[in-house]
């Protein structure tokens, strides 16, 4: 790291551009900005690279971005209570942008590397003092794409319509984790292709590289498969279906932006729609009442109930064929087979399972049966790295009684640090999706109807002030409260892990479950919060001194939200616009080192 | 009420149309639907009526609405654990729609009644058995508009593209309260004209009649005034300004739909932007740190601080002129002058107030000074019914020490039933906006930056399970949790009031404060939840037997949400679409009389 921390801190105040995620190392010189001309790209003859560069440049020229929020020291306030005002003070860099940058020289070491797990995404970006050339170097074209994203964020409007870039600048950048993503859910409510592409646009801008697509669930099956055409009888409507053509377009749109799509077919739980059109006989409890009101009989965590019958041979024939066709539609080398929230009561509706239980076996044995039969079957259809929800290995009620293969990647969603600790201790690779930090759907109350818990007129804890359901409490959302960008960014998810365990954490994915999400709200619930995650897994949440830089992120994410909106992503506002324009006046603490 | 409850209940199941808000009385006959032809209107020659009818008919013909969610008994589920399935059962009315409805006969008793407080909004709508005519009768054109809204919701697509209407039908309808509204806030973040009109569209569809517009706040002043052109220096940008022309368009758009706009200029608190451009000398604490971190010095509930100096004569000159011009822009006979959340610490920055306090006077005396001087001054400029936030009469820290005129309408936002009880006991007319039930901006976490409270990795109450900040608690939102449609609808806000007190409750307004709201999310945060309020204040939340009908509202509001989206209002989804299609399978309790 060739720069001193002190210099870095000083320059960060003076330079208006503030790309998100913050690069691993960035240093600005002091000689000031140059104008940006029509930049010519001198680089490898590679379609992904050329398209990526064209996109970046057309965004630069269309938006002519004026940073919406820039960093500055907190202004001086009147002391309390002496009423003598002082004016606010802002840093303003002097510059004379007569020098013009005219070319981008790009070197890609290996233009043949494909988009796969742990592909090298690093890059360097350099504008030497006085040079008219932006020099970019990357190991792969995916690193080059990230360099372009950085470049388009550091080329800004000087306020008079001229595009400038601060120089000299030196960036060395690479992600902390190979898995950096968000999860969308098109099983509870349909998501249109247009809105999915919008998520991909925002992911590319924030350097996320994995779209985990929970395609189907018990409620609907929007996925057209040639193998079982009848499954889309359980799409919400003929218009709410993903055709092969549509999937191809989404997959290639993502790939062109360096984004992998990991498909999820949730099995054997969360299963009713689609499957039941193939064979109702291999389903358990699909005609049961979910029975949250009579807990002894409850068959599902949410309506509607349904699980594939683990002991029915037909299950393996059908899931195998479905897996095979889905694998053919999604070229990524990883495949998510679900595995969460199996309910024992649901299997009471299967005579096969009842007999199994009568023979002295338990739920763990049943889950082990699934692991032992389903996984080899899937591997035979298409050899992918399999991802499962952590439940199969760690759920108190429904974990496998024996061995879960260690090459399965487990996605940790429950109990925060504790489950990450336990799963990595047992040698599993882990994707972090802790609900207490990263579930973007939390805090919107409950979506279940006929719920008398809301019918409370007076705070029952008025006197002692403690939180209850309707007053400061969850209000029906099981994972309340809403996860703010600060909550997400503050998450130190490797706390307490050994170096060996840390190496097993492959990254993080923020899920946006869609019981209360469809096209109208997906972007505003996803963004800009997912950008806080993006920086967390790209360059971390700490500054060069090891202190959390959440407060430093403030102006960066406020600007980035406006940038997303300008790029057609309907991201939600985080604060009054006043706060964008008055750095840190909307902070909780005046002390900027509070966090 | 000419119908028996039993018949009503039976027919409600059979008729797919389910208008929201539910009319006060509606009865369907049994002879089945008629086709709907091009309906000719035979009614008074009145522009509002003609335009309203044309809008309703063009919506009917453009959408050809197929109810997205219809009422039906819960289906039969398999008993636990006997696995013998039964099919679901749906009511389906037989009909032979060869008869065609061809005309609407409208009688309006007083076509000259104007849109003012408590204007008669009642109407009847009748289709006699076998008649080809829809007969509507209303006291005023505003009642006629509501009739059209009902009509457009009961004309539906039979599923094959034919428009039908169930008949015979008899509706007698009138609102419970004269004030039924939502509040928008363009002071924290700007709201475009387009999005404001979208709110008005949705209000008209749900029979809300008051748009309370909190136009300005400390953060920005987007309102152009001829009197003080400099005030819009504190608009967020030259594009984020409401010109006179723009306001005229919004006001007349609303009026054509029977919607009053009550403007709010918040004074003397929540004041900085705009005012400070006129005269910084009449402002207190606008250069202070809001100081939530050093509580003894805190000057505001949120950034940025600022209050008008109550003891500075200039304040009355400026507020009077602003009031006068705003009153000229908004013809409604009500005007909201704010008055909430005055902070004593802010006034420590005023030497005039410090002297006042030194003379033995207190905050109550200061507020009384404002009441005694500002109100007569406003009345002199334009004689309006004044609305204020309840604080002036009830806030423990900042209520007036003496008399607040009883002709001021007070908006109750704090302490739920308790404040409504106390304010009506004291003889004030009250608008209900209780934050625990009706604040639509709650539950989105905090928007304040540099907040270390999120930096908690492990649930401190893991063992006892009690709720805390990051785990099941408020997560930074002072009024958490999010208010669901059930929570809003369940609110019996006149509980415990005498008949005399009940008569003082003029209605309810659901506020959507905009610290975390702008164009991208206003519609999804407002709708369809505001429609639950709309029915609450139109026909109440109880059935003919006096039982809460929250569960009955389920399918109605689910359908209405889809209807809003089809009408161009970006309302949020409440449940998976599965629940729309499977009535009551997403309920908490199978027992439909649980609430």
pLDDT digits (tens, 9 = 90+) for A168-197: 999 999 999 999 999 999 999 999 999 999
Question: What is the per-residue pLDDT for B92?
Answer: 47
The model's confidence at residue A97, banded by pLDDT at 50, 70 and 90, is: low
Chain A positions touching B417 (Cβ under 8 A) are: 457-458
Task: Please name which of B95, B105, B92 lies closest in space to residue B163, comparing C-alpha atoms.
Answer: B95
pLDDT digits (tens, 9 = 90+) for A349-379: 999 999 999 999 999 999 999 999 999 999 9
Among the partner residues B78, B445, B551, nearest to A482 by beta-carbon distance: B445
Question: What is the per-residue pLDDT for A30?
Answer: 83
Question: Is B293 within 8 Å of A590 when comparing Cβ atoms?
Answer: yes
Would the pLDDT of A2 be above 70?
no
List B121, B166, B264, B341, catalytic entry: B341
Please check whether residue B408 is in contact with residue B423, taking contact to mean a CB–CB distance below 8 angstroms.
Answer: no
Structure tokens at B469: 């900040």
The model's confidence at residue B161, banded by pLDDT at 50, 70 and 90, is: confident
The model's confidence at residue A90, banded by pLDDT at 50, 70 and 90, is: very low
Chain A positions touching B450 (Cβ under 8 A) are: 550-551, 554, 584, 587-589, 592, 594-595
The model's confidence at residue A4, banded by pLDDT at 50, 70 and 90, is: very low
Across A219-231, average pLDDT = 98
Kindly write down the DSSP assignment for every residue of B566-594, as one continuous string.
HTT--PPP-S-HHHHHSTTTTBS-S-TT-
Q: What is the CA radius of gyration of chain B?
A: 26
Tell me how far apart the alpha carbons of residues A60 and A64 are, in angstroms, rounded to a whole number. Answer: 6
pLDDT digits (tens, 9 = 90+) for A106-164: 999 999 999 999 999 999 999 999 899 999 999 999 999 999 999 999 999 988 889 99
Q: Is A546 helix (H, G, I), strand (E, B) or coil?
A: coil
Question: What is the per-residue pLDDT for B94?
Answer: 52
What's the whole-number average pLDDT of chain B?
93
Question: What is the per-residue pLDDT for B461?
Answer: 96
Question: What is the per-residue pLDDT for B387?
Answer: 98
The model's confidence at residue B10, banded by pLDDT at 50, 70 and 90, is: very low
Q: Which residues of A are catalytic?
A: 341
Q: A133: distance to nearest CA of chain B, Å?
A: 35
pLDDT digits (tens, 9 = 90+) for A425-481: 999 999 999 999 999 999 999 999 999 999 999 999 999 999 999 999 999 999 999
The model's confidence at residue B87, banded by pLDDT at 50, 70 and 90, is: very low
Question: What is the per-residue pLDDT for B97?
Answer: 60
Across B439-460, average pLDDT = 97
3-state secondary structure A109-128: CCCCCCCCCCCCCCEEEEEC
Structure tokens at A417: 């640090």
pTM to 2 decimal places: 0.94
CB pairs under 8 A between A and B: 378
Question: What is the per-residue pLDDT for B13?
Answer: 46
Would the pLDDT of A95 be above 70?
no
pLDDT digits (tens, 9 = 90+) for B354-385: 999 999 999 999 999 999 999 999 999 999 99
B337 HSE (CA, 13 A, CB side): 25
Question: Is B288 within 8 Å of A491 when comparing Cβ atoms?
Answer: no
Q: In sequence order, which residues have a C-beta less than 8 Å from that of residue B296 and are 6 or more positions away?
A: none
Please check whether residue B133 is in contact with residue B101, taking contact to mean a CB–CB distance below 8 angstroms.
Answer: yes
Q: How far is residue B360 from each of residues A431, B366, B399, measured CA to CA in Å? A: 64, 11, 17
pLDDT digits (tens, 9 = 90+) for B170-222: 999 999 999 999 999 999 999 999 999 999 999 999 999 999 999 999 999 99
Q: Is A355 helix (H, G, I), strand (E, B) or coil?
A: helix
Question: Is B80 within 8 Å of A345 when comparing Cβ atoms?
Answer: yes
Tell me how far apart the alpha carbons of residues A523 and B558 are, in angstroms, rounded to a whole number. Answer: 21
Task: Please name which of B474, B468, B467 lies closest in space to residue B445, comparing C-alpha atoms.
Answer: B474
Share of chain A above pLDDT 70, in %: 95
Among the partner residues B190, B492, B587, nearest to A449 by beta-carbon distance: B587
Among the partner residues A449, A471, A474, nearest to B551 by beta-carbon distance: A449
pLDDT digits (tens, 9 = 90+) for A510-549: 999 999 999 999 999 999 999 999 999 999 999 999 999 9
pLDDT digits (tens, 9 = 90+) for A234-275: 999 999 999 999 999 999 999 999 999 999 999 999 999 999
Question: What is the per-residue pLDDT for A595?
Answer: 75
Question: Is B292 within 8 Å of A588 when comparing Cβ atoms?
Answer: yes
């Amino acid at each position: 790291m060739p720069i001193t921390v002190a210099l870095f801190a000083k320059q960060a105040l003076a330079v208006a551009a503030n790309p998100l995620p913050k690069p691993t190392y960035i240093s600005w010189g002091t000689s000031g900005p140059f104008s940006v001309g029509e930049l010519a790209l001198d680089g490898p003859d590679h379609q992904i690279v050329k398209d990526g560069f064209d996109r970046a440049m057309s965004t630069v020229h269309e938006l002519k971005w004026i940073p919406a929020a820039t960093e500055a020291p907190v202004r001086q306030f009147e002391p309390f209570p002496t009423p003598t005002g002082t004016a606010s003070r802002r840093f303003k860099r002097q510059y004379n942008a007569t020098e013009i940058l005219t070319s981008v020289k790009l070197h890609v070491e290996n233009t043949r590397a494909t988009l796969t797990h742990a592909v090298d995404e690093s890059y360097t970006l350099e504008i030497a003092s006085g040079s008219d050339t932006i020099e970019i170097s990357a190991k792969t074209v995916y690193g080059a794409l990230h360099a372009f994203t950085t470049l388009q964020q550091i080329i800004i409007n000087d306020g008079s319509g001229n595009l400038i870039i601060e120089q000299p600048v030196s960036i060395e950048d690479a992600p902390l984790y190979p898995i950096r993503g968000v999860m969308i859910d098109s099983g509870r409510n349909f998501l249109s292709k247009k809105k999915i592409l919008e998520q991909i646009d925002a992911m590319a801008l924030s350097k996320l590289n994995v779209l985990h697509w929970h395609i189907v669930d018990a409620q609907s099956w929007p996925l057209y498969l040639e193998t079982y055409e009848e499954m889309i009888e359980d799409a919400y409507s003929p218009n709410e279906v993903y055709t092969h053509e549509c999937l191809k377009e989404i997959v290639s749109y993502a790939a062109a932006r360096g984004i992998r799509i990991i498909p999820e077919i949730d099995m054997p739980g969360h299963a009713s729609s689609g499957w039941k059109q193939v064979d109702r006989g291999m389903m358990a409890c699909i005609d049961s009442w979910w029975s949250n009101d009579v807990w002894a009989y409850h068959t599902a965590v949410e309506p509607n109930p349904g699980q594939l019958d683990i002991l029915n041979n037909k299950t393996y024939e059908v899931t195998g064929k479905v897996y095979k066709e889905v694998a053919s539609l999604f070229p990524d080398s990883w495949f998510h087979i679900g595995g969460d929230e199996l309910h024992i009561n649901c299997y009471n509706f299967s005579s096969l399972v009842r007999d199994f239980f009568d023979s002295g076996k338990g739920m763990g044995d049943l889950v082990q049966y699934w692991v032992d039969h389903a996984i080899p079957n899937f591997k035979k259809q298409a050899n992918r790295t399999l991802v499962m929800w952590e439940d199969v290995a760690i759920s108190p009620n429904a974990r496998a009684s024996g061995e879960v293969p260690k090459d399965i990647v487990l996605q940790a969603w429950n109990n925060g640090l504790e489950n990450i600790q336990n799963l990595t201790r047992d040698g599993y690779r882990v994707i972090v999706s802790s609900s207490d930090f990263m579930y973007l759907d939390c805090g919107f109350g409950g979506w279940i109807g006929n719920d008398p818990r809301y019918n409370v007129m007076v705070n029952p804890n008025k006197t002692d002030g403690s939180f209850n359901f309707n007053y400061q409490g969850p209000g029906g959302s099981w994972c309340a409260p809403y996860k703010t960008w600060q909550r997400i960014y503050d998450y130190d998810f490797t706390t307490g892990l050994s170096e060996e365990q840390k190496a097993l954490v492959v990254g993080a994915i923020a899920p946006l479950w869609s019981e209360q999400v469809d096209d109208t709200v997906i972007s505003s619930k996803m963004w800009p919060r997912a950008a806080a995650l993006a920086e967390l897994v790209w360059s971390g949440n700490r500054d060069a001194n090891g202190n959390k830089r959440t407060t430093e992120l403030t102006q960066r994410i406020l600007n980035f939200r406006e940038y997303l909106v300008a790029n057609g992503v309907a991201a939600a506002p985080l604060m009054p616009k006043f706060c964008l324009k008055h750095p840190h006046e909307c902070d909780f603490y005046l002390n900027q080192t509070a966090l």
